[in-house]
């Protein structure tokens, strides 16, 4: 922290800086707030004109629909499978990627050896390969060894994708640990391994947590690769299964048309209430716009059945919970 002399001028400046920072950050967070709230608002509030900016009613009905607690909503999506796959692929890959990345990071931080820079750069650059370039050849190869439609195959890929960043982060953390510690451990008779295991690793735990969060989020939110490697419903992750189904282009592309979206009517009465209840005359009908069918545009596409929203919301649910974990530990580990 920069120390400052305190005076009335300073104080005024401080207030201004604080106010400006708060305003700007709140504006930045607004879209995120809107996105999260989408999960808890009834459709009528999300898709109307003029927009309802401040939520009037919060509801968990989308979650109920999604998990099949609402008998009126036909459940045809393997939500449980999506979540299980997401947890497995992200969890397994995080554990392995962080372990291997930590070992590699330690080697780079602590030891002198041939090809140090080349190896380091090589590992980092593997991360720079775009998913588009990777996903298809991966699919062709995985298909031959039976790893398509397989959570373990997916985890395997995520490990490789996450190692570079983890190794880099851990390299940075190990550099902060004074070499004197290691050297004195050697003097005390520790080998390389036990010096690492008993002295340095425990000191780098905050770094480990940060790396794990990054790795977990990257795996959880990955779309490009899973969309190619998971061919069957049961093999999809929450982001892929949930978003591709309702946010993606599910309803809008279909060659020769037809019912591209659902036109059922689970919640029409609410919609009518809003329309009439708010005193909009019929002559002003172009004033209100509902978008129950706008799969293409709307996050709450096909609101009438509600389950795709549910899917959408399952995603939010997990995003929000992982966000909370990340935020807590990140605020602990940041300076």
Partner 1 sequence: MAANSNSPRGKGAATRLVEVSRIEAGFFPFALILPAVILILLVVGFPLLYSLYVSFTPYELLKPNSLNFTTARALRNYQKLLNDEVFWRSLLNTIVFLAVTVNLSYLLSLALSQLLSRVTVGQSVLRTLLMVPMMFAPILVGMQFRWFFNANLGLVNNFLISVGLIQEQGQIAWLVDVPLGMITIIIASIWMNIPVMTIILLAGTLSLPSETFEAAEVDGASGWQKFRFITFPLLAPFSYIALTIMSLDIARAFDIVRIMTDGGPARRTEMLWTYITRLAIEDTKFGLGSAMSWITVFLSVAFTLYFFRQLVKARIVR
Partner 2 sequence: MLRKLFLMLLMLALVSAFAVSAQDEAQYAGLDMDLSGINIKMANIGGGQYEVMYDAISVFEEATGATVEIVALLDGFSMDQKLKVDFATGAADYDVAWDHTSFVAQYTPFLLPLQDYFSEDELAPFSPAILDAATIDGNLYLIPRHADISPIHYRKDLYEDEAIAAAYMDATGEELTVPTNLEQIDRQARFFVENGHSTLGYTLAGKEEALTGRFYEMHFASGGSLFDENYEPAFNDEIGVAVAELLASWYADGIIPSDTTSLLWDGVAQYFCNNDVAIKLEWYGWYAYFQDADSCAVAGNFGLARGFTGLSVGGDAVRPSGWAGAHAFSVPATAPNPQAGVQLIKFLSSERVAYEEALLGFLPTRSDVWDRVIADASDAENPLDRERLELARIQVGEDFKTPPLIAEWIPFSNIFYPHLQAVILGDASAQEGLDAAAEETREMMADAGYY
Q: Contacts with partner 2 in 59-98 (CB under 8 A)?
A: 74, 76-77
Please give the residues from 237 up to 266 whose contact with partner 2 meets the rule CB under 8 A: 244-245, 248-265
**Which one, 23 or 69, has the nearer CB to partner 1?**
23
Q: Residue 296 contacts by C-beta under 8 Å, 6 or more apart in sequence?
A: 249, 251, 252
DSSP state at residue 282: G
Site membership for partner 1, residue 291 (CB under 8 A) = yes
292 binds, among partner 2, partner 1, none (CB under 5 to 8 A by kind): partner 2
- From residue 160, alpha-carbon distances to 98, 140, 143, 153, 173 in Å are 11, 18, 18, 11, 21
Q: Is the Cβ of residue 154 or residue 294 nearer to partner 2 in the bound state?
A: 294
Structure token digits, residue 198: 């008993």
Q: Which is nearer to partner 1, 70 or 293 (CB)?
A: 293
Distance CA 304, CA 262 (A): 7
Nearest by Cα to 169 from 104, 232, 230, 78: 104
* DSSP code string of 224-245: HHHHHH--SGGG--IIIIIIHH
Per CB under 8 A, contacts with partner 2 among 146-165 are: 148
Helix-helix angle 79-110:116-128, to 10 degrees: 160
Tell me how far apart the terminal alpha carbons of the chain are, to the nearest angstrom: 11
Binding mask 268-307 for partner 2 (x = CB under 8 A): xx-xx---------x--xx-xxxxxxxxxx----x--x--
Q: Which of 141, 169, 154, 20 is nearest to 82 (CA)?
A: 154
Binding range to partner 1, per CB under 8 A, among 57-65, 264-272, 275-283, 316-324: 316-324
Complex with partner 1: residue 194 or 263, whichever CB lies closer: 194
Q: Kindly tell me which residue out of 87, 100, 234, 280 binds partner 1, with binding defined by CB under 8 A.
A: 100
Stretch that binds partner 1, among 55-63, 77-85, 115-123, 273-281 (CB under 8 A): 115-123
Q: Which spans of this chain sit near partner 2 (rule: CB under 8 A)?
A: 74, 76-77, 136, 139-140, 143, 148, 228, 231-234, 244-245, 248-265, 268-269, 271-272, 282, 285-286, 288-297, 302, 305
């Amino acid at each position: 922290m920069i120390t400052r002399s305190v005076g009335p001028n300073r104080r005024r400046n401080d207030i201004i800086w604080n106010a400006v920072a708060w305003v700007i950050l709140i504006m930045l967070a607004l879209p995120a707030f809107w996105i999260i709230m989408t999960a808890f608002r009834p459709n009528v509030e999300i898709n109307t004109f003029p927009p309802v900016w401040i939520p009037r009613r919060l509801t968990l009905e989308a979650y109920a629909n999604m998990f099949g607690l609402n008998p009126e909503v036909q459940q045809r999506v393997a939500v449980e499978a999506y979540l299980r796959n997401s947890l497995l692929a992200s969890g397994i890959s995080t554990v392995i990627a962080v372990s291997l990345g930590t070992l590699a990071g330690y080697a780079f931080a602590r030891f002198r050896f041939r090809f140090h820079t080349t190896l380091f750069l090589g590992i980092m650059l593997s991360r720079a390969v775009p998913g588009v370039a990777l996903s298809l050849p991966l699919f062709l190869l995985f298909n031959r060894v039976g790893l398509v439609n397989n959570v373990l195959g997916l985890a395997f890929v995520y490990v490789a994708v996450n190692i570079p960043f983890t190794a880099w982060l851990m390299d940075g953390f190990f550099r902060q640990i004074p070499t004197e510690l290691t050297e004195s451990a050697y003097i005390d008779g520790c080998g390389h391994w036990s010096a690492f295991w008993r002295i340095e690793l425990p000191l780098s735990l905050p770094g480990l947590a940060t790396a794990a969060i990054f790795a977990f989020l990257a795996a959880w939110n990955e779309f490009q690769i899973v969309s190619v490697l998971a061919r069957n419903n049961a093999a999809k992750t929450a982001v892929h299964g949930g978003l591709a189904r309702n946010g993606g282009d599910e309803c809008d592309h279909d060659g020769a048309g037809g019912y591209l979206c659902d036109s059922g009517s689970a919640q029409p009465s609410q919609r009518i209430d809003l329309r009439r209840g708010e005193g909009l005359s019929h002559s002003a009908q172009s004033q209100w716009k509902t978008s129950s069918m706008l799969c293409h545009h709307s996050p709450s596409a096909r609101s009438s059945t509600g389950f795709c929203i549910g899917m959408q919301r399952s995603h939010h649910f997990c995003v929000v919970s992982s966000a909370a974990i990340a935020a807590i530990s990140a605020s602990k580990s940041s300076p």
